[in-house]
Amino acid sequence: MSNYGILFDLDGTLWDSAEHVATAWNEVFAQHPGLSLTLTADDIHGVMGMLLPDIAKKLLPDMPEEERTPLFQRAMDNEIATLERLGGELYPNLVETLTELRKKYKLYIVSNCQCGYIESFLNHHNMWQYFDGKLAAGDTGLPKWDNIKKVVEDEKLTRSIYVGDIYADYMAASRAGIRFIHASYGFGTVPKGTISIPSIDALPQAADAFFFGQEDKMKQKITAKVVSQEKLCDGIYSMVIEAYGIAAFAKAGQFISVYTNDGAHLLPRPISLCEVDKFAGTLRIVYRVAGFGTDAFSKYQAGDPIEILGPLGNGFPTRSDAKAFLIGGGIGIPPMLEMAKKLSAQGIAKENIMAVLGYRDVLFLNEDFAPYATVVIATEDGSAGTKGNVLNAIEANDLTADVIYACGPTPMLRAIKAFAEKNNITCYVSMEEKMACGVGACLGCVCQSVEVDDHSQVHNKRICKDGPVFDATEVVL
Ligand SMILES: Cc1cc2nc3c(=O)[nH]c(=O)nc-3n(C[C@H](O)[C@H](O)[C@H](O)COP(=O)(O)OP(=O)(O)OC[C@H]3O[C@@H](n4cnc5c(N)ncnc54)[C@H](O)[C@@H]3O)c2cc1C
Ligand code: FES
């Protein structure tokens, strides 16, 4: 059997225990002097997935903590005893579905519940035989993403998915770095476009498509949320987007396709990832207003929904042993920032990461590089740094490196390729071309390659799919 694992949330995914949980808690509340609180199953649905102290605080915000904590502890004890006795409502066809899944996958439960809760599910419904393991927040004291990671690592799962029903599950899976499937029949919502199942018995097909399907597993089109939009200087904007499912798998040098919210202009625009924060689940893009699409992007405001597809492209390869030039020209500067952060995180000293940034006149993003790299600036008008281009700045500062990562206009990349060849430096270039599909299907974005391409059998490379990053020796510039 393959070492593929499916990790399940419990409430809203495998069963609904809310009715009996409400009964158990109400019995305890009724015995507490001076407390008049009666909960319904719907009240319980509203707090499912939350950690116990947060639930207690939400339901009884005015009760002193020294009174609230023991009260909820008694409610929890009664809950476990009640569920052991009465169980919960299993989602239709659960047993048949688990039986089928077990033929191919290892199955686990990872829940934010207290100790004993998963056991009450397994005991009452005689479910032990279907699962290879379980982990609750109450067992480890860890947040869900750490518990997911722990199961994946301890069980040495080569590939895994998490199935859950609320946004916190989606977030936890992404933070743990595994793909998420939304149980949309449960209690919560996640970004539109996330893989979802309308009932538990749809899971075997969705899991097979994920584990054994042909399509790119990491790419997805979702309705994400704009966190912030900031004008950096005239015509240049910085947007932060919350997109856990994409951030989890994104890397330096990749890009996303961004859609306008005007349905009439259907083609998305490719924009590089300037920064990726996997824990916060955010992507930062920095873009220049060039025409209709990017002008529409500049109108998005914090809180707006935004459709994006990604992560796309191959990204930069990294060498942790080398002194690197990160060369960005104009709007080719943004992707070099995530690359600087990545090299720095790999332990390369700041003096060995040289960000050589070329501007026409007004500077942007240069200060963001400072914590990770030695920043060298060139401006065409000489208003800052070396007057001239990025290669003039390298020469003026007498700099050398073992590897070059570059992004910018084609004439700049051509000159850098020649410089790398002359100085025997490995060089990776990130190329730009107008795109249509963005996923390798339309050949709208080809550049000329040195070798014949496997896909089209001509001297072509698709920038969106084979690139945008190429070893400079592979492409004709
Ligand atoms: C892999 C990749 C990553 C990119 N990353 C960024 C980024 O991080 N920040 C950023 O500002 N831009 C980036 N671009 C360029 C960006 O996609 C274009 O500026 C954008 O598509 C223009 O769309 P628009 O509707 O605003 O302009 P349009 O109205 O479509 O075109 C306006 C002008 O921009 C030119 N143009 C359109 N697309 C491109 C392109 N791909 N390259 C060069 N010129 C183009 C057109 O020829 C025209 O002159 C990237 C492009 C690619 C292929
Ligand atoms: S944009 Fe369609 S193949 Fe690249």
Q: Is the CB of 212 under 6 A from ligand 1?
A: no
**23 alpha-carbon distance from chain centroid:** 39
To 10 degrees, what angle do helices 167-176 and 144-154 make?
Answer: 50
Annotation: CATH topology of 4-13+89-212: Rossmann fold (3.40.50)
Atom of ligand 1 nearest to the CA of 467: 1
Ligand nearest to the CA of 296: 1
For tokens 């699962």, the residue is: 131
CB-neighbour burial class of residue 64 (10 A; exposed 0-12, middle 13-18, buried 19+): exposed
| C-alpha distance across the termini of the chain, in Å | 48
Ligand nearest to the CA of 329: 1
Q: Which CATH class is domain 220-312?
A: mainly beta
> For residue 409, what is the DSSP state?
-
The model's pTM is 0.85
For residue 450, the model assigns a pLDDT of 82
Output the CA–CA distances (angstroms, integers) from residue 152 to 17, 94, 108, 128, 206, in the order listed.
27, 23, 10, 19, 20
Q: Is the CB of 468 under 6 A from ligand 1?
A: yes
Ligand nearest to the CA of 259: 1
Ligand 1 centroid, distance to 334 Cα (angstroms):
13
CATH of 324-474, one of 3.40.50.10680, 3.90.226.10, 3.40.50.80, 3.40.50.300: 3.40.50.80
Q: Is the CB of 259 under 6 A from ligand 1?
A: no
For residue 436, the model assigns a pLDDT of 81
**239 alpha-carbon distance from chain centroid:** 16
At 427, which amino acid appears? C
Ligand 1 centroid, distance to 270 Cα (angstroms):
7
Ligand nearest to the CA of 462: 2
For tokens 């920064």, the residue is: 275
* Helix, strand, coil abundance in the chain, percent, nearest 5: 35, 25, 40
- Per the CB < 8 A criterion, the answer to whether 109 and 131 are in contact is yes
Q: Is the CB of 385 under 6 A from ligand 1?
A: no
Q: Is the CB of 297 under 6 A from ligand 1?
A: no
The torsion angles phi and psi of 394, rounded to 5 degrees, stand at -65, -45
Return the CA Rg of the chain: 26
CATH of 18-86, one of 1.10.150, 1.10.10, 1.10.287, 1.10.8: 1.10.150
Going from N- to C-terminal start, the domains of the chain cover 4-13+89-212, 18-86, 220-312, 324-474
- Per the CB < 8 A criterion, the answer to whether 139 and 107 are in contact is no
| Torsion angle of C-alpha atoms 102, 104, 105, 106, degrees rounded to 10 | 60
Strand partners, 220: 310
Q: Is the CB of 262 under 6 A from ligand 1?
A: no
For tokens 């949980």, the residue is: 21
pLDDT one digit per residue (tens) for the chain, 477 residues = 579 999 999 999 999 999 999 999 999 999 999 999 999 999 999 888 777 888 999 999 999 999 999 999 999 999 999 999 999 999 999 999 999 999 999 999 999 988 999 999 999 999 999 999 999 999 999 999 999 999 999 999 999 999 999 999 999 999 999 999 999 999 999 998 898 999 999 999 999 988 987 666 678 889 999 999 999 999 999 999 999 989 988 999 999 999 998 766 668 899 999 999 999 999 999 999 999 899 999 999 999 999 999 999 999 998 877 899 999 999 999 999 999 999 999 999 999 999 999 999 999 999 999 999 999 999 999 999 999 999 999 999 999 999 999 999 999 999 999 999 999 999 999 998 888 887 888 888 888 888 776 666 777 888 888 889 999 998 888
Residues 6+ apart with CB under 8 A from 440: 455, 462, 464, 465, 466
For residue 440, the model assigns a pLDDT of 82
- Specify the residue with its C-alpha closest to ligand 1, atom 28: 291
CB-neighbour burial class of residue 33 (10 A; exposed 0-12, middle 13-18, buried 19+): exposed
Do 4-13+89-212 and 18-86 have matching folds? no
- Per the CB < 8 A criterion, the answer to whether 243 and 191 are in contact is yes
Peptide bond into 311 cis (omega under 30): yes
Ligand 1 centroid, distance to 269 Cα (angstroms):
7
